[in-house]
Amino acid sequence: MDITETRKLGRTDVAVTVASFGGAPIGNLFAPVSREAAEGALAFAWDAGLRYFDTAPYYGFGLSERRIGDFLRDKPRGSYVVSSKVGRLLLPLRGKPVPDRGFAEPLPFEPVYDYSYDGVMRSHEASLHRLGLDRIDVLLLHDIGTVTHGAEHPRHFRDAMEGGVRALQELKAAGDIGAYGIGVNEVEVLLEALGHADFDCFLLAGRFTLLDQIAAQGLLQTCHDRGTTLIIGGVFNSGILVTGPVPGARYNYEPAPADILARVARIKAVCDRFGVPLPAAALQFPLSHPAVSTVLTGVTDRDMLSRNLEGFRVPVPPALWDALVEDGLLRAELRPAA
């Protein structure tokens, strides 16, 4: 697989490399990442030909945006694509304790939800300042849905569809962004959103993977028919498709339950039979679908990124996909074409 191949987001002119850089880990997700390690990972990604970089205000409460912007600032502006997210504003703590949201040593801000028209406009401008760039190519409404908001979902969803989407449409019409969409971990809210507006792209994490193919239940075909393409994140489902079914393996940020461990063991057995590393199959699987534009790889250092990029290049025989279908581990309609 050529990781520098480009595909467009939806029907826009924004083209992204099929392998792309996910910025959550260098925002200190779960553990501190040194500036040197973050810069090394970004430099390795650039030298390998990756030209799409995704970040968000939420990642380290601005830290990821600052690191990615600092790296990209001296690169020719037309040579890369950067996406960020809207839906949270970062408020200065002014001496209050840093909230625990899973980021180690974040910047001294508190994220506050705001999906309104004004909130999206303010978030866009603030991200430009943190990045130190004059343009963000793609903006995504971040973390709408019942998984994040519970009983507050209807209110936030209404703000997003009535106000936030209008702001995104205006920014695109003015040429300030090239594409817009939604970035979430759940399928249902994307189908709900398509009933209110057209979107160029969706960033979907963890729901279209070798282990979890729930996105196939209506979303993929709907997106393909509507001209909305997918940016796929979380292809390792929080790590279990890297480690395999070992003690302590994590799935969806939690210790993997017995049924998930058993399913991964069966998937790994098939991969082993064909001499294909489990992470390589996990990285390549989503890109086989015509609705998918790119797969994000989120890393903390250059060595991790090197292993992931090598996974994109491992030859995967068609018989492996056939075996997964035969064993009931892959839906037949999702079998990658030879």
| 35-58 pLDDT tens trace | 999 999 999 999 999 999 999 999
Q: Is 148 in a helix, a strand, or coil? A: helix
Q: Specify whether 54 is catalytic.
A: yes
Q: What backbone torsions phi and psi does residue 201 show, to the nearest 5 degrees?
A: -160, 160
| The model scores a pTM over 0.85 | yes
The pLDDT confidence band at residue 195, using thresholds 50, 70 and 90, is: very high
Domain boundaries, the chain: 6-238+282-314
Q: Specify whether 172 is catalytic.
A: no
Q: Is 73 in a helix, a strand, or coil? A: coil
- Give me the catalytic one of 52, 58, 80, 85: 85
Cβ neighbours for 63, distance < 8 A, ≥ 6 positions apart: 26, 27, 28, 103, 106, 107
At the fourth CATH level, the homologous superfamily of domain 6-238+282-314 is NADP-dependent oxidoreductase domain (3.20.20.100)
The pLDDT confidence band at residue 203, using thresholds 50, 70 and 90, is: very high
Place of tokens 């971040």: 142
Q: Which two tokens stand for residue 157?
A: 């969803």
Q: Specify whether 96 is catalytic.
A: no
The pLDDT confidence band at residue 1, using thresholds 50, 70 and 90, is: confident
> What is each CA distance from 128 to 131, 135, 159, 213, in whole angstroms?
5, 7, 23, 35
The pLDDT confidence band at residue 177, using thresholds 50, 70 and 90, is: very high
Mean pLDDT value of segment 268-289: 97
Q: What is the mean pLDDT of the chain?
A: 97
Cβ neighbours for 15, distance < 8 A, ≥ 6 positions apart: 6, 7, 8, 9, 81
Residue environment code for 290-306, b if the CB has 16+ CB neighbours within 10 A, otherwise e? ebbbbbbbbbbbbebbe
- Give me the catalytic one of 52, 58, 59, 80: 59
* Cα separation, 42 vs 141, whole angstroms: 24
Q: What local confidence, expressed as pLDDT, does residue 222 receive?
A: 95
- Give me the catalytic one of 54, 137, 159, 212: 54
> What is the tens place of the pLDDT at every residue in 90-118?
999 999 999 999 999 999 999 999 999 99
| H or E segment to which residue 82 belongs | strand 81-86
Cα 180 to the center of its chain, rounded Å: 14
